[in-house]
Amino acid sequence: MESKRIFADQIRFVVGQAFSDVPANLALALVVVFVYWPVCCHRNLLTWLGIMTLGVLARLIISIPRTRSLLKLNDDHLWFKIYLPLTSGFGVLWGAAGILFFVHGQLEYQLFIAILLAGIVSGAVSSLPVFLNVYYIFLYSIMVQITSLLLSQESTLGLGMGILCSFYIFYHTMSAHRSHHLILEALSSRHKTELLARIDVLTGIANRRAFN
C-alpha cells in the first residue's frame, strides 16, 4: 500500500514540474535554432524544432488534470507508460541536436552545444531522478553522442572537453542515484507523518483528521 502511495506521489511530483521544466525545453530549442541558423541546414533546424514543439505540447497536455480525464489517463501506471517514452524522446531529441548541429571545424559551435547539453542534464537532475530509469535514459541519450564526437576531435580543447564530458556522465550517474533515494525517503517520511497525524497514538484508532 505504501509503495503504491509513493508511486502516486512520484507521478504528482513530475506532473507538477511539467509546467516549469517542459517549456524550458522549447525556450532552449529556440536559442539553438537562433545560434545555429547561419551555419546549419535550415530544414534540419526547423524539423528538429517542430518535433520538439510537438513533444512539449504532448507533455503539457497529459499533465493538465482536465485533459488527463478526457484522455482517461487518471490511472498512474497508464500515465507513466506515456510519460516514459515522451521524456525519453526529449533526451533523444537533444542527443540528436548534439549530432546534427555539431559543426566540424568550428570549435566555438561545438563547445556551445556541449555546454548547453550539459546544462540541460544538470537542470534535469532536480526532478527526473524521481524515476531513476527515466533520468538515466535522458542522461545517456543526450551526453553519449556529443562526448564521442568531442573525443574524436584533433584539437586539444575539443579532446579535453570530451574527457570532461565523460567524467560528467559518471558524476551525474552517481548523483542521480543519490537524489533518487533521497526523494523516495522524503516521500516515505511524509506518508508516515500523515499517517501519524490521522491516528491516535494511544488507541491506534483513526482520529477526526482522518475523516476530513
pLDDT digits (tens, 9 = 90+) for 57-69: 999 998 888 887 8
Residue 138: CB partners within 8 Å, gap ≥ 6? 87, 88, 90, 91, 121, 124, 128
pTM more than 0.85 = no
Positions in the chain whose pLDDT score sits under 50:
210
Confidence (pLDDT) at 39: 95
Q: What is the pLDDT of residue 205?
A: 56
pLDDT at 1: 55
What is the model's pLDDT at position 71? 79
- pLDDT at residue 192, rounded to an integer: 59
Beta bridge partners of 199: 206
- Tell me the pLDDT tens digit for each residue of 32-86: 999 999 999 999 999 999 999 999 999 999 888 888 788 787 888 888 899 999 9
Q: Could you tell me which residues are beta bridge partners of residue 101?
A: none
Q: What is the model's pLDDT at position 16?
A: 79
